[in-house]
Amino acid sequence: MSRRTPVPAAALLLLLASGCAGSLTREEVYDPASCGECHQEHLDQWQASMHAYAGDDPVFLAMNRRGQEETNGELGAFCVNCHAPLAVQLGEVVDGLELEDPDFPQYLKGVTCAFCHLAAHADGDSNNPIELDPRTVLKGPFDDPTRSPAHRAEYSPLLDRSQRDSAQLCGSCHDIVLDNGVHLEQTFAEWNDTVFSEDATLTTCGNCHMFSVGPPDARENRNPRPVATFDGVPARDFHDHRMAAIDVAVSPWFDEADQREQVESLLKSTVRSQICVNPLPGGFQLMVGLENVSAGHSFPSGASQDRRVWAHLRAEDAQGVIWERGLVPEGTPAVDVAQGILLRDHLAGADGEEVHMFWEVASIERDVLPGIRQFGLEETRIWTFEDVQGRQPTSVTLALYERPVGLDVLDDLIGSGHLDPSIRDAVPTLELSGAALTWSGALGSCASSDAL
Ligand code: HEC
Ligand code: HEC
Ligand code: HEC
Ligand code: HEC
Ligand code: HEC
């Protein structure tokens, strides 16, 4: 983090006297390190988040570098506009290659405190249309902030997770439309299509992604405490800034163990599974159902072209394994499970062949679990398999896994010489333990997991 530049005493007096600014200079307001003095817990949590990591993520840097080379620079600031947005708005980067310079200031990398808390408008649904307030007044959820000498503060619905506008702030950056119209990443559009975006059941991104792991009432943050270490600050609801979901740091970063725990905890209860086994002449029919029960959008979501979610299915009888799909050995790409269940989006180039990189994309084929459109009418996707080799199972097991980014995507980047091969080993294979299920009933019966 950059050093704080001392504020000349005269200027400080002038600012305080005019009552229109805090003691933090504009540069300091941009620097997360300056917030730690009074908001240490927010700083620690943010530091360990993917928002802080977004401009250091080696997979991002490798993809962006390859994109600049392969498009002769036409990609420009497209990627870095979301991964280091403050640096773009301040004109400090033009294509994001600057981020790889060891002297590039750390405080401009990632989605920083100031970028969210100075947001004045988000007029658009994708590609980060967010405009910042030219004044350095930090916006937050409180309409009665305690006066602090450090900075001015004011309420904004963009930063109040009980308001729809807050979903616009997150969503307009979590949704990507390419120049050719392909709607590549759709988290916001998906959310807009679920029951969570309706007035009566409004549940914003922050409602689900800004609470700590813990008992159900932790969701409501019923643990009020001061949110700034400063005299006279009342106890208020504290909001978790780790915002973990599926990606984890793949190079040394802050508190990786905690990040991994947060991810596993959220992921655990996301999908419910069901297995039905029916007799067939000379064999059996297996029906597997998967249902997204807690994500406020599709599952997987966002970079679903890079995600790999697959089921390992195995039917056995007393003699051993009869039938198996989706066994993916550690370190092997999950590409050969097409005969089983693989959830991901598929990208194709102009010639219809599969591609992995944004700038090669001509079309997208979606293959994910939809979000909940109406309570009570949840959609279960069903896959049917038949086996008529004469044996009937006594047990069928299902285990569901996700890799945040497919090893086939990484191999593509390693193969082109853009990514350090050691990163491959750092990408975890996570199990959705709440979806794990064993059927061992009579033929013609079903079993289901109780994900929640
Ligand atoms: C010298 C202490 C101090 C420093 C340094 C500081 N703050 Fe604050 N901040 C406060 C106080 C005091 C409040 C009011 C808290 C309250 O009323 O509960 C506050 C409130 C906030 C709020 C909520 C405002 C609202 O109206 O909802 C945000 C957002 C915020 N600070 C962000 C930051 C950021 C970002 C930084 C770093 C650039 C920072 N603060 C640095 C003391 C500080
Ligand atoms: C991705 C956007 C985002 C980033 C980055 C971010 N915040 Fe926040 N922050 C929010 C939102 C949204 C809320 C309001 C949650 C609510 O009350 O509805 C919030 C709330 C706050 C509050 C009010 C107290 C609370 O817990 O609700 C403070 C203080 C704060 N943030 C400080 C920071 C600091 C310091 C950083 C950087 C170290 C930071 N934030 C980074 C989005 C962000
Ligand atoms: C300026 C754009 C921007 C804004 C605004 C923004 N995000 Fe993000 N968010 C990102 C980027 C970029 C990443 C991931 C970086 C990476 O993986 O390299 C990310 C990561 C995340 C992740 C982790 C995703 C994963 O795959 O694990 C969650 C959850 C998340 N954001 C939620 C939110 C919420 C909630 C808000 C609003 C309070 C928000 N974001 C606002 C750009 C943004
Ligand atoms: C009803 C709760 C809920 C709401 C609302 C919600 N999410 Fe999520 N989100 C989840 C769950 C659960 C997961 C999946 C578990 C995981 O990835 O660990 C998830 C996953 C994600 C991911 C990672 C994608 C993946 O493949 O798992 C991102 C990014 C994300 N959410 C962003 C957002 C944004 C942006 C919004 C608002 C537009 C939002 N979420 C609204 C619950 C929610
Ligand atoms: C509109 C904002 C936006 C743009 C533009 C954008 N990203 Fe991202 N990126 C995100 C968000 C948000 C995430 C968080 C995870 C998710 O949504 O799945 C992310 C995650 C990632 C990740 C980590 C997850 C994964 O897929 O491995 C990589 C790598 C990445 N982006 C690379 C890029 C590259 C390269 C470009 C440009 C070709 C780009 N991004 C353009 C917002 C953006």
pLDDT of the chain, 452 residues: tens digit per residue: 333 444 444 444 444 433 446 899 999 999 999 999 999 999 999 999 999 999 999 999 999 999 999 999 999 999 999 999 999 999 999 999 999 999 999 999 999 999 999 999 999 999 999 999 999 999 999 999 999 999 999 999 999 999 999 999 999 999 999 999 999 999 999 999 999 999 999 999 999 999 754 444 445 555 678 999 999 999 888 899 999 999 999 999 999 999 999 999 999 999 999 999 999 999 999 999 999 999 999 999 999 999 999 999 999 999 999 999 999 999 999 987 768 999 999 999 999 999 999 999 999 999 999 999 999 888 999 999 999 999 999 999 999 999 999 999 999 999 999 999 999 999 999 999 999 999 998 999 999 997 55
Q: Looking at the CA of 140, which ligand is closest?
A: 1
Are 438 and 397 contacting, i.e. CB atoms less than 8 angstroms apart? yes
Q: Which residue has the tokens 């409602």?
A: 207
| Rg (the chain; Cα; Å) | 24
Closest atom of ligand 5 relative to the 358 alpha carbon:
38
Taking the C-alpha atoms of residue 194 and residue 388, their distance in angstroms, rounded to an integer, is: 40
Q: Which residue has the tokens 């549940």?
A: 203
Taking the C-alpha atoms of residue 386 and residue 365, their distance in angstroms, rounded to an integer, is: 26
Query: Which residues, 6 or more positions from 326, have their beta carbon under 8 angstroms from its beta carbon?
Result: 310, 311, 312, 313, 337, 340, 341, 342
Give, for ligand 4, the residue of 198, 246, 293 to mutate: max count of ligand atoms closer than 8 Å to Cβ: 246
**Measured from the CB, is residue 39 less than 6 Å from ligand 2?**
yes
For ligand 5, the distance from its centroid to the CA atom of residue 185, given in whole angstroms, is 9
Which amino acid is residue 147, in one-letter code? R
Residue nearest to atom 3 of ligand 4 (CA): 296
For ligand 5, the distance from its centroid to the CA atom of residue 60, given in whole angstroms, is 7
Closest by Cα among 236, 274, 250 to 435: 274
**Measured from the CB, is residue 128 less than 6 Å from ligand 3?**
yes
Closest atom of ligand 5 relative to the 127 alpha carbon:
1
Q: What's residue 451's pLDDT? A: 57
Residue nearest to atom 23 of ligand 5 (CA): 60
Closest by Cα among 428, 9, 361 to 176: 361
Taking the C-alpha atoms of residue 262 and residue 250, their distance in angstroms, rounded to an integer, is: 16
Closest atom of ligand 5 relative to the 357 alpha carbon:
38
For ligand 1, the distance from its centroid to the CA atom of residue 385, given in whole angstroms, is 57
For ligand 5, the distance from its centroid to the CA atom of residue 54, given in whole angstroms, is 8
Closest by Cα among 330, 332, 327 to 411: 332
Are 48 and 253 contacting, i.e. CB atoms less than 8 angstroms apart? yes
Q: Is the peptide bond before 421 cis (omega within 30 degrees of 0)?
A: no
Angle at 278 between CA 275 and CA 284, to 5 degrees: 105
Are 69 and 416 contacting, i.e. CB atoms less than 8 angstroms apart? no
